[in-house]
Amino acid sequence: MTDATTATKPSALFVCVHNAGRSQMAAGFLQALSGGQVEVRSAGSQPADQINPVAVEAMLEVGIDIRAQTPKVLTPDAVQASEVVITMGCGDVCPIFPGKRYEDWKLDDPAGQGIASVRPIRDDIKARILVLLNELSIDPAPLTQP
């Protein structure tokens, strides 16, 4: 039997420009699928005023509610506090710290797109989150469908 208090939670930060679509969907999936076993952050280099309503709708379709989230500005502290930093089209604005794992996920931007175009982006993000969970040795929790 392992002592959960001796292990520290892995942490991940998702970064995109507006922190309104891709990064919010990724954070929602990681939070739900990790069952709380991963500390999840998201931020943007130029945060929008609100989360993309089509991204919210697409996530609600799979049982994940991200309506309470708000776009946040990217800070060096958020990067420093995260083991894995995943960028999604934020360019060179993400500060680089030694010892961090960086990945850049090439994903279409859901901004200005309808639900039919956002669903494949959502599904691609979910598949990438499942790979990340496997790499972190965390079994995915089941999603409850609405």
Output the domain CATH number for residue 99.
3.40.50.2300
Residue 73 DSSP label = B
Measured in whole angstroms, how far is the alpha carbon of residue 87 from the centre of its chain?
9
Residue from 13, 16, 27, 79 carrying the catalytic annotation? 16
| Confidence label for 90 from pLDDT (cuts 50, 70 and 90) | low
| Interatomic CA distance for residues 80 and 73, integer angstroms | 14
For residue 120, the model assigns a pLDDT of 98
Contact call for residues 26 and 82 (beta carbons, < 8 A)? no
Domain of 22, in residue numbers: 11-135
Residue from 90, 118, 129, 132 carrying the catalytic annotation? 90
| Residue 131 belongs to a domain | yes
29 noted as active-site residue: no
Residue from 51, 58, 88, 94 carrying the catalytic annotation? 94
Residue 82 DSSP label = -
| Confidence label for 100 from pLDDT (cuts 50, 70 and 90) | confident
Residue 91 has pLDDT above 90, yes or no: no
* Strand partners of residue 117: none
94 noted as active-site residue: yes
| Residue 33 belongs to a domain | yes
For residue 7, the model assigns a pLDDT of 58
| Residue 93 belongs to a domain | yes
Contact call for residues 104 and 111 (beta carbons, < 8 A)? no
| Residue 22 belongs to a domain | yes
For residue 144, the model assigns a pLDDT of 72
Write out pLDDT tens, residues 15-70: 998 999 999 999 999 999 999 999 999 999 889 999 999 999 999 999 999 999 99
90 noted as active-site residue: yes
Write out pLDDT tens, residues 102-127: 899 999 999 999 999 999 999 999 99
In this prediction the pTM is: 0.90
